[in-house]
Amino acid sequence: MSVASVMPSNHLILCGLLLLPPSIFPSIRVFSSESVFRIRWPEHWSFSFSISPSSEYSGLISFGMDWLDLLARRQITENKIYCENCLVCEGSEWLVSIVIENCVAAAGFSVGEFAALVFAGAMEFSEGLYAVKIRAEAMQEASEAVPSGMLSVLGQRQSKFAVACLEAQEHCKTQGIEDPVCEVANYLFPDCRVISGHLEALQFLQKNSSKYHFRRTKMLPVSGGFHTRLMEPAVEPLAQVLKAIDVKKPLVSVHSNVDGNRYMHPKHIQKLLAQQVVSPVKWEQTMHAIYERRKGTAFPQTFEVGPGKQLGAILKSCNLQAWRSYSHVEVLEASEDTEGPL
């Protein structure tokens, strides 16, 4: 017998990696009270639903989702959290396979792009996890070769990001650094950037922040200058893994970090995922591409599901009208106490 699950339409979901169902069968704990069941995938996620005969389809069972808790299992690699956020748009109908049929688009921030692609059915969960492992190890090795880092910069309209990076590179040359790197690595929202490169260059920017009209700067707790050409050694190992993965056409459109546009086909995915390692994350551009709509067209509800509310804060700065329909769904970390409340 077929089973159907129906959820409201006109929703956007901002989700973390572990919304994706694990490829292994769970150790299921079931509690029943009349027609309400609670099932938990240890270290992954849990949910509660009620069952009743479908009023729309004869012979089918309707699953009413009462709540969904994602248990964010954090795996630290290259000083980053694997379960970074991804964006999924306008889902309506969920089947038991947890595939959203009516999504409009998906995007993931940096390593979260793998989560978006797995969510969209472009690759298996295990394949995405393995690719992220190889990516993290290769990027960590590259970061150890050069003292580098990332600097968050909150600017203003008159801020001179390009000039600042060029002058920081020139400063590094006077310090004997050959081929110095200082580049914008993340476009977050208007006048907010993350700059990556040699530590000497980033320290120069901090000391001279007023010259370039930077309102605030802060070093990020990462181990390297990610999303710049300093990560070039990591491209080939990741490219080889991606070639071995059976990448499929996504079930929903997925936007690339490299240019903010939608992936066209599987080979396009393989190419740009490798290129993303040495390219800036154009998240601001992605937000504009996803939420662009004609004047008067209503924005769907947006849910961020994942650790933290960073994507919601960025959305607010990029598109206030879209953010007005935004909500955050708390994510619980898996604990060793498996007998805890669901």
The one-letter amino acid at 197: G
Whole-angstrom Cα distance, residue 310 to residue 292?
20
User: Per residue in 117-156, is it b (16+ CB within 10 Å) or e — as a string?
Assistant: bbbbbbbbbebbbebbeebbebbbebbeeeebbbbebbbe
**Is 11 labeled as catalytic in the residue annotation?**
no
Catalytic residue among 48, 110, 159, 209: 110
Catalytic residue among 159, 227, 255, 256: 227
SS3 for 31-79 is EEECCEEEEEECCCEEEEEEEEECCCCCCCEEEEEEEEEEECCCCEECC
Number of residues in the chain: 342
**Is 110 labeled as catalytic in the residue annotation?**
yes
Q: In a 10 Å sphere around its CB, with 0-12 CB exposed, 13-18 middle and 19+ buried, how is residue 175 labelled?
A: exposed
**Residue 104 backbone dihedrals phi, psi, to 5 degrees:** -95, -40
**Residues designated catalytic:** 110, 227
